[in-house]
Structure 1
Amino acid sequence: MSPPVPWVAPVLYTGVLLAGGYAGLAGLGDTRPLPFVGGLAAAAALDLAERRWFGAGAPRPAAVGLLAARAASFVLVAAGDGAGLARVLFLLLPFTAYFAFGRAVSVGVGAGCVAALAVAFQLTEPRWYRSPEHVSDLLMFVLGLVLTITMAAVAAEERRARTRAQDANERLRASSERVAELSAAAERNRVARDIHDGLGHHLTAISVLLEKAAAFRDRDPAAADAAVEDAHRSARLALDDVRRSVGALREAPFRLSTALDELARQARRTDDGRLAVTVDWSGDERHHRPAVLMTLYRAAQEGITNVRRHAHATRALVTVHCAPTEARLVVTDDGHGFEPGREGFGLRGMRERVALVGGSVTLDSGPGRGTRLAVAIPRQPEPAP
């Protein structure tokens, strides 16, 4: 893995080149241009090749080869350097090793560089340890080594933190897209339930009334006209229901008791009094959120629609009790009933709608004994300010 601080090596190469060139031109040292410049060129070429071939991560065998090649080029530079500054290039070995192999290998490479420098001093001056200049050079090299490894550790941690942040951003983006998809699906389901529970109820009434008007058009024009007028009224109620739903979304006031009374009156008018719908109300709806009250209204709508369509009943009772701890609605009828498990889209949509506000739906029915639909929604605690 190449270092995330690419400017370090070029800066050191430039400093060594200037110092060695100046020493050679000023006669301050024995600088040999061929190994000196050739070694620096080879080191720079290795850096360029690593970035081009491997990008941010060389395989481990290649990283070992690159490290060894760098060490050889630095030895070549040191052999031709007359200024004595080439030893700072060896700090790049533990620096690059940190990113390729980790901290332990980097410290080991650094210790090897210190040992190699001590051996070089011993070969050139056997009693170097008594020379303040050589001891100072060794101590400065060790200090530079500590700073280099520390710098590598900081840079590696910053790279890991950046990678973790990128991964977290990717996960957050994926989660946001998933939430958006689920929100869109939930909104589609909500709209579908509203259409079925609201418009579906009124359109059923309009269809029945228009069929009645067509059947009585010749035999009883007055009854046909009344049916058409009731159909017009149901259409207006459908529009009012749409406005009420929009108003609920905008947190407009909604009174469940008034809406249920109107629902019962409409059912009685639509069926010419053949179905007696009664509302038994108790409690205080102000204990509950508008979303809960709207859910109870939709449940009553669906229950009465099912009674008119399928139950062949003569009486339906809507019982509502808004207690401080729970809101409960029960729709019962004296119709034919139906086999358990035969639920259509309306009842499934009702269960979904009630579940969204933390409630439950129970259905009790059977052939010949009517149907009892019960919705219970516990009062949710108010959110903390």
Structure 2
Amino acid sequence: MPRPVPWMSALLYGVVLAGGLHHAAIGPGPDARTAAFTVLLGALAVLDGRGWRIPEGAVFALRAVLLCAVAAVDDSGLSRVLFVLIPFLGYFAFGPAAGIALGAGCVALLVGAFTLWVPDWEMRAEYVSDLLMFALGVVLALVTAAVAVREQQARDRLESTLAQVARLSAAGERNRLAREIHDSLGHHLTAIGIQLEKAEVFAALDPAGSAQAVSHARWSANRALEEVRASVRALGPEAESEPAGLSRTLADLVQHLEGGGRRISLDVSGTERRPLLVLYRAAQEGLTNACRHSGAAEIGLTVRYDDQGARLCVTDDGGGLGGAAEGFGLTGLRERVRLAGGTVDLRSSDRGTVLRVEVPW
């Protein structure tokens, strides 16, 4: 996995290089071992600073060899601190278990080296102190690696969650716009089609009725244009587009859909309260479906307001849905009402259809 703390290795290389050069300066002076020490540290920095296209295990093994070589030519002994990088980097490359095992192995190797080359080291305070400090460094390196990995995982989860939220938000907005287009523009285009069909049928038999149908179609076209312009201006919360005076708006809607052998009655009672737009869209969908599909002669629209909420009902005496599946309009209406906390009930038979919508305050 990518190493979340890339600066740690460079920091340790820099500290060890400065300490080794200082030791050489105050001692016998720089020599070939000092040059080799500097070159090997540079090779380690280059190895850590590039994305090598070789297996991680090979890079790790080469790094371990270079660390051993640095320790071999370092007269100051400071390079021992670099071995904490083996468990630290192993944690990222191979996982927590491997990192801990490598850390324990490094401590064990240092104990073995002291045992082989430093007689009675366990009785000498400086070597015991070095061992304890090295063991503490290994523990701190492993803790740092664990924290870095968990932070990286949390950041990845957050980015994934944000991406998912963005996708869901985009999908929700697309669905909202689709509902608006269907419920607003789609309704008015359907009404225009109905009125123009009426005008065509009655052109010769009833010129006045035909002219009225054309007038109603023109009203629907103007209304559609107004709603499209309002949507383009706002593209905001639905509440901003709520019709002012639902009773008057529904009366206009009924007036321009009525005719052609259909009679539409409107009955509104109670005091108007929000959500007006939800009720208006429900009335649009119910009346449009009744006018277009049912073949009804009598259509009724009632709206009731009380302390609990609003209830809208559209009834007709047409032939019903006839087993047909619900279209996008009804599906969108159910979603719109659900978001408002309400319910939709649709019942249909060969004697007519009843659409009930209830929305709480």
TM-score by shorter chain over 0.5: yes
Alignment CA distance shift 1:121-1:173 (3 Å): same
- Report the Cα offset of residue 372 of structure 1: 1.9
Report the residue type matching 1:275 in the other structure.
R
Alignment CA distance shift 1:169-1:229 (3 Å): closer
Alignment CA distance shift 1:220-1:276 (3 Å): closer
Specify the alignment match of 2:265 in structure 1.
278
Task: Summarize the alignment of residues 296-315 of structure 1 with structure 2, pairs less than 5 Å apart.
Answer: 296-315=279-298
* TM-score, normalised with respect to structure 2: 0.77
Q: Would the aligned equivalents of 1:209 and 1:230 in 2 still touch at CA under 8 Å?
A: no
Specify the alignment match of 2:311 in structure 1.
328
Task: Summarize the alignment of residues 128-143 of structure 1 with structure 2, pairs less than 5 Å apart.
Answer: 135-142=124-131
Matched, 1:16 2:16: no
Gaps of 5+ in 2: 91-97
Once residues 173 and 346 of structure 2 are traced to their aligned partners in structure 1, the CA distance between those partners, rounded to angstroms, is: 29
Alignment CA distance shift 1:182-1:359 (3 Å): same
Task: Summarize the alignment of residues 84-233 of structure 1 with structure 2, pairs less than 5 Å apart.
Answer: 86-100=76-90, 101-117=98-114, 119-122=116-119, 135-142=124-131, 144-146=133-135, 148-153=137-142, 155-157=144-146, 159-212=148-201, 215-216=203-204, 221-233=207-219
Once residues 118 and 231 of structure 1 are traced to their aligned partners in structure 2, the CA distance between those partners, rounded to angstroms, is: 101
- Report the Cα offset of residue 339 of structure 1: 1.0
Alignment CA distance shift 1:144-1:329 (3 Å): same
Give the one of 315, 322, 338 matched to 1:339. 322
Alignment CA distance shift 1:55-1:162 (3 Å): farther
Once residues 183 and 165 of structure 2 are traced to their aligned partners in structure 1, the CA distance between those partners, rounded to angstroms, is: 26
Alignment CA distance shift 1:110-1:344 (3 Å): closer
Report the residue type matching 1:141 in the other structure.
D
Specify the alignment match of 2:353 in structure 1.
371
Q: Would the aligned equivalents of 2:24 and 2:34 in 1 still touch at CA under 8 Å?
A: no
- Report the Cα offset of residue 88 of structure 1: 2.1
Q: Would the aligned equivalents of 1:206 and 1:235 in 2 still touch at CA under 8 Å?
A: no
Q: Which digits, 9 at most, give the CA deviation of each residue in 1:236-264, with x for residues without a partner?
A: 45456657877855255633333223323
Alignment CA distance shift 1:259-1:201 (3 Å): farther
Alignment CA distance shift 1:299-1:68 (3 Å): same
- Report the Cα offset of residue 21 of structure 1: 4.2
- Report the Cα offset of residue 375 of structure 1: 2.3
Once residues 88 and 306 of structure 1 are traced to their aligned partners in structure 2, the CA distance between those partners, rounded to angstroms, is: 85
SS at match of 1:24: coil
Once residues 228 and 68 of structure 1 are traced to their aligned partners in structure 2, the CA distance between those partners, rounded to angstroms, is: 91
SS at match of 1:339: coil
Specify the alignment match of 1:40 in structure 2.
37
Q: Which digits, 9 at most, give the CA deviation of each residue in 1:162-220, with x for residues without a partner?
A: 5225413531452244134313422331233234554234313441353256x23xx65
Which sits farther off after the overlay, 354-363 or 232-241?
A: 232-241
Once residues 373 and 323 of structure 1 are traced to their aligned partners in structure 2, the CA distance between those partners, rounded to angstroms, is: 19
Specify the alignment match of 2:344 in structure 1.
361
- Report the Cα offset of residue 158 of structure 1: 5.0
Alignment CA distance shift 1:344-1:93 (3 Å): closer
Report the residue type matching 1:12 in the other structure.
V
Q: Would the aligned equivalents of 1:333 and 1:371 in 2 still touch at CA under 8 Å?
A: yes
Report the residue type matching 1:200 in the other structure.
L
Once residues 93 and 21 of structure 1 are traced to their aligned partners in structure 2, the CA distance between those partners, rounded to angstroms, is: 24
Structure 1 stretches of at least 4 aligned residues deviating more than 6 Å after TM superposition: 243-247
Alignment CA distance shift 1:266-1:366 (3 Å): same
Once residues 275 and 206 of structure 1 are traced to their aligned partners in structure 2, the CA distance between those partners, rounded to angstroms, is: 12
- Report the Cα offset of residue 279 of structure 1: 2.0
Q: Would the aligned equivalents of 1:91 and 1:110 in 2 still touch at CA under 8 Å?
A: no
Once residues 241 and 61 of structure 1 are traced to their aligned partners in structure 2, the CA distance between those partners, rounded to angstroms, is: 67
- Report the Cα offset of residue 227 of structure 1: 4.3
Once residues 320 and 184 of structure 1 are traced to their aligned partners in structure 2, the CA distance between those partners, rounded to angstroms, is: 29
Specify the alignment match of 1:383 in structure 2.
none
Q: Which digits, 9 at most, give the CA deviation of each residue in 1:25-44, with x for residues without a partner?
A: 4xxxxx9x44x336515632
Once residues 57 and 358 of structure 1 are traced to their aligned partners in structure 2, the CA distance between those partners, rounded to angstroms, is: 58
Once residues 307 and 145 of structure 1 are traced to their aligned partners in structure 2, the CA distance between those partners, rounded to angstroms, is: 84
Alignment CA distance shift 1:201-1:353 (3 Å): farther
Give the one of 52, 56, 60 matched to 1:59. 56
SS at match of 2:303: strand
Once residues 155 and 23 of structure 2 are traced to their aligned partners in structure 1, the CA distance between those partners, rounded to angstroms, is: 42
Q: Would the aligned equivalents of 1:46 and 1:70 in 2 still touch at CA under 8 Å?
A: no
Once residues 212 and 293 of structure 2 are traced to their aligned partners in structure 1, the CA distance between those partners, rounded to angstroms, is: 24
SS at match of 1:159: helix
- Report the Cα offset of residue 277 of structure 1: 1.6
Alignment CA distance shift 1:57-1:21 (3 Å): farther
Gaps of 5+ in 1: 26-30, 381-385
Q: Would the aligned equivalents of 1:201 and 1:301 in 2 still touch at CA under 8 Å?
A: no
